[in-house]
Homo-oligomer: A and B are copies of this chain.
Amino acid sequence: MGSAREVLTAAASMDGLAVEFGEEPGGAATYLETGEPLVAGALERFRDEYDAVLKGPVGLPEVRKPDGTEAGVLGGVLRNGLDTYANVRPVRLLPGIRDSASPIDYVIVRENTEGLYLSRGSGVRNERAASDQLLMTRVGVERIVRFAFETARTRNGAPGDGVRRVTCVDKSNVLRSFAFFRDIFDEIAAEYPDVEADHRYTDAAAHDLVADPGHFDVLVTENFVGDMLSDLGAATAGGLGTCPSGNIGERTAYFEPVHGSAPSIAGQDEANPTSQLLTAAMLLDHVGAIGTAKRITGAVEAAYADGSVRLNPNGTPTCGTKGVTAAVLSRL
């Protein structure tokens, strides 16, 4: 987060943009102090006072609630609290990371407010059984599918064959909720004759994102499935440390790296800040500072392309967190 703040401030000042930062504590530490994972009033301030929200990784696996789930996780609080229904996860292979026969440049649009995760905190459990519910609504599916088609129309980047397409990822062959999802997808797709409507079962999508990523442009899917597929996609593109994400709603949006908190390497100059840097660029793009966003993504790409940033097999940068930050700062 320190790295992103530094780069964002530097890039903005080059464009004559003043940035004022506020800080709102949240996550495992906040839960341990206050019993809540987010300080009081933060949600309202995110919605009403800030222009944009940049979130850092916050969880701690060992801090758990009595039901066994993690206490510091902010996903439900923020995503449902702010109704940021579209979790946008671009997967792009940066230059120099590895060779791929099939180009990797697509966006996963993950539904962020319903699906299986709507059950968080309300699943039932006793000694003999446990259950969670996967719930989809027409309103929820319609808006996420529309969002995906709009993304396909407007995004920079394209699949290997240059065809604008949205792939609906579902398990409609087995489950009624997913059949519902697909039927609504097909309805909305008819409103976008300029974009190809495409389908994959969840298992086939997991296969094809590895075997043939160049096919994909925009994918749209349920919350839990999108969570898995975006980590999978990140793995094919150099790891979680390279992938940004945005949580977009009608009124508010917040931006965060795809990865979690990795407490084992925190503060040791080991983590790859690239995802947080590209996340800052997504944020700038969203608030209309498009030139400044491009300045950052351009600098990140240049630092990878000329070999200044290289990754270890485990995804950490050989030059350390600070080395990446310096390389990007000098290329802004």
Contacts and interface: CB of A to CB of B under 8 A. Distances in A.
Interface of A: 59, 61, 67-70, 73, 75-76, 101, 116-117, 119-120, 123-125, 127-139, 171-183, 202-204, 206-212, 224-225, 227-232, 234-236, 239-240, 313-315
A103 to B, nearest CB: 14
Copies of this chain in its oligomeric complex: 2
A75 B174 contact: yes
B224 A132 contact: no
Contacts of A127: 138
26 contacts: A67-B176, A67-B179, A68-B179, A68-B182, A69-B172, A69-B173, A69-B176, A70-B172, A73-B173, A119-B175, A120-B175, A123-B177, A128-B137, A129-B138, A130-B176, A130-B177, A130-B179, A131-B136, A133-B133, A134-B134, A203-B227, A204-B231, A206-B231, A209-B235, A210-B235, A211-B235
Contacts of A133: 131-134
User: A123, A209, A315: which has the most chain B beta carbons within 10 Å?
Assistant: A123
Nearest to A179: B68
Given A101-B313, A209-B235, 9 more contacts: A73-B174, A116-B134, A129-B136, A130-B179, A131-B133, A131-B176, A131-B177, A132-B178, A202-B224
